[in-house]
Each structure stands twice: as structure tokens, then as C-alpha cells.
Amino acid sequence: MSLKIRKLDSSAAGFDAALAAVLAFEASEDEAIERSVAQILADVKRRGDAAVLEYTNRFDRLDASSVAALELPITELEAALESLQPKQRAALEAAAARVRGYHEKQKIECGSHSWQYTEADGTVLGQKVTPLDRAGIYVPGGKAAYPSSVLMNALPARVAGVREIVMVVPTPDGVKNPLVLAAALIGGVDRVFTIGGAQAIGALAYGTETVPAVDKICGPGNAYVASAKRRVFGTVGIDMIAGPSEILVLCDGTTDPRWVAMDLFSQAEHDELAQSILLAPDDAFIARVEEAMAELLPTMPRRDVIQRSLEDRGALVKVRDMAEACAIANRIAPEHLEISALDPQQWANEIRHAGAIFVGRFTSESLGDYCAGPNHVLPTSRTARFSSPLGVYDFFKRSSVIEVSAEGAQTLGEIAAELAYGEGLPAHAKSAEYRMKQTG
């Protein structure tokens, strides 16, 4: 198998434009999908259970008599957990324990506590921090059903203190994935409905007679699910609309090229649109990685997807030095960034924009995907410039708290009234002045 992966050199003329072309990705919008989703959502909003039941029976080829019959009893989740091979179950539980532990630390560090302070005149200011009442988690059915995703979405919500977690997962032709159901139990999901698609998103957003309305919907899905999430945003919160997955490997040439090759493969095997890029200051090393890829590719079960992904969207980039590699990494703002180098910390210090930074050659991305502890739901498509991994903070929200003392109302009233008159809002001014002794 010959692999034709794009090669760039940061010193070459036109490098910036060439890199931009590699990174360019426009999610296409499908008119037919948009129309269909809009109609399904409107129908679920209007007819509730009846609509959800009809769409589910039709699209998933089921014969359920009610939406209630589509809810899985907890005993079925328990049976799924019992059915796993001991080694598989142990791995799932170990991963959950580590992810839970990390997010518990995060809860302490990320400012999930209410706070306030009192000023000299007795005025109290602060913020009240509260978890969401109810979260919904979408889990895709079929091939892309990942138990690790169930854990990564449910555990931060659980740790944040969300009262109820409702999971939806389609079961086309009635096929259930025991790993996914076991993960739901381990992750602390409260209720599971075997519904999917835009109808499931509608049910979670608007609520039906049987499915409770949630406050935020998380989790990945196909184009219908993504469109539906976008449309219900505002009625409920959503996590993010993820683009194709990405890895950027920065390597100083001191790592086994086969390790680097396999790390690039691990991203590429996700799907054909996934993006794997290597930045290295050493032509000879890049050549060795290329050789390793050519050698390893035929051994990979998912070689067709890997090849297509690498040839369409991958790149091997020769850079001047590791400092330049860091600067380019900040421009790319990748979802996953591996720093495979001697003294990797010095380079990690230079990174401002990345979903997750994998420091040092022993930290393969796949360890983070499953069990290191941090969340694997990460910002893609350069959105790491302004957004963060899914975390505990996505499952709480803040209310400002303001308690102005009688004395404080005098000084603040004067400032507010002056500005309110300036903005042409006299009722605002009067409302402040009423609290001032000299005028009220």
C-alpha cells in the first residue's frame, strides 16, 4: 500500500496559504435534512409522545406500543453490566473511577462554589452557583456507539450535582449495545429511553407526557441530531456541535517513529474526515515516520479509512524548530496536541490554544480518550481558541447576587440615576431615586 500524504515546509513560499488550505473545513448544510428536522421537531413539540412513538417505530423499525415501553428498566442496565466479560467490566469501571476522580478535582478548582463579599456600607455582592436541574445525554446507536462517550458525558454532570440525567439511545431493529447500557449504569444515568434522531432531541428539549424536558443536551450524533441540537439551542443548552476529530503531533525527532505513526493512525481511523498532522524540525525524522506508516498501514484493520483520512486531510510539516512548531500549533488550535519531545514541558508552556495537551512521549492520545481522567469531549475546528473541554463547569450556572444596603442605595442611586438619564431611561433613574432619602 502506498500512502500519499501531503508534505509541507514552513520555510517554503506560500506556506501560510498551504496550511490554511489543509485546515479549511466547511460543514456542509443539507437542505433536505434541515427541512426534515424542522418538521420533526415541530411535530414532537405539538404532539408529544404520539409523535415520538411514530417516528421511533418508523425510523428504527420497532413496534413499541408507547413511549413508556421504550424506557429501559434499571434491571436491564444491571443485566447488561453483569453480561460483560470480567476484563471488559473492570476496564470500564477503572476508566469511570479515573474520570470521576479528575472531575471531582476539577469541581474544586474551577470555581463551582458560591461566593460573596460585603462592602463597607453593608452592600453584599457575589454569585450563587447551582447545578442544572436535569441534563440529557444523546448516545448514537449502531457503529458509533461508544461506551467511553457515555462516561465522558454523564460523569461531569453527576459530579456537578445535576439532579437527574436522562439518556437517549436509538436501538435500530431493537439491537441494544450492552457496553453502552453498562456504561450508563456506571456513569450514574437515571433514566434511559431507546429513542434517537431529531425526535429524541425534540423530546428532551420540549418534554413530552413521558420524557421529561431537560435543561441541557450533550453528546454526539449524526447530521440529523446535530441539526436538531442547533435548532433547540436557546430552549435548552447544548454542549457543542463537534467537527471532525483532529490530532497535531509536535515531535523533536527523539521519539520512536512507529509511536508517532500509530498516534497519527489512531486519529485517522475515526473517520475519513479526521485530521492528523505532524510538525517536526527534522526532515530525516519525517521520512522515518513516513516509512513507519507505510509499513504499519497494511496491518491495520481500518486501513482504508486511515489511508483516505491521511491522504485527504493529513500533513507532514517540516518546521524550523520546536519554537516555530509551538507558534504554528497555536494557529491551528488543535483538538488534541501531542508534544513528543525531550523536556516536553518547555514546549507545553508555549501552548495557548488546544483542547487537550498530551505532554511527553508516553502520553498517547488514546490514553486520554479512555482513562487518563480528563474529558475526551474537546473543542474541534480551531474552536479551542475560545472554548474548553466538556467539564463540570458545563453543568452548573451562576446567578449574580446583589443586596444593596440602605446606605449603599444613596451612593449607588446617584451614579445610576445620572447614567440612566444619560441613556434616556427615566424610569430606571426614578426607581433608583426612590431609594434615596433626599428624593424618595
Residues with active-site annotation: 335-336
Binding-site residue ranges for substrate: 245, 267, 270, 336, 369, 423, 428
CA neighbor of 356 nearest in space, from 329, 316, 323, 395: 329
- Closest distance of CB 411 from a copy of itself, Å: 8
Whose Cβ is closer to a copy of itself: residue 184's or residue 357's?
A: 357
CA neighbor of 186 nearest in space, from 99, 87, 85, 70: 99
Binding-site residue ranges for Zn(2+): 267, 270, 369, 428
For residue 419, the tally of other CB atoms under 10 A from its CB is 13
Distance CA 347, CA 329 (A): 11
Residue in the block written with cell 515516520: 289
- Closest distance of CB 32 from a copy of itself, Å: 18
Whose Cβ is closer to a copy of itself: residue 253's or residue 379's?
A: 379
Report CA-CA distances (Å) from 412 to 121, 355, 403, 433, 440. 11, 42, 12, 10, 14
- Closest distance of CB 237 from a copy of itself, Å: 4
Binding-site residue ranges: 138, 199, 222, 245, 267, 270, 336, 369, 423, 428
Binding-site residue ranges for NAD(+): 138, 199, 222
Q: At what angle do helices 303-313 and 257-268 cross, to 10 degrees?
A: 90
- Closest distance of CB 3 from a copy of itself, Å: 14
- Closest distance of CB 9 from a copy of itself, Å: 25
> 289-293 contacts: CB < 8 A, separation 24 or more?
289/251, 289/257, 289/260, 289/261, 289/264, 289/316, 290/3, 290/5, 290/316, 291/257, 292/257, 292/258, 292/260, 292/261, 293/3, 293/5, 293/261, 293/264, 293/265
Distance CA 203, CA 171 (A): 16
Whose Cβ is closer to a copy of itself: residue 7's or residue 98's?
A: 98
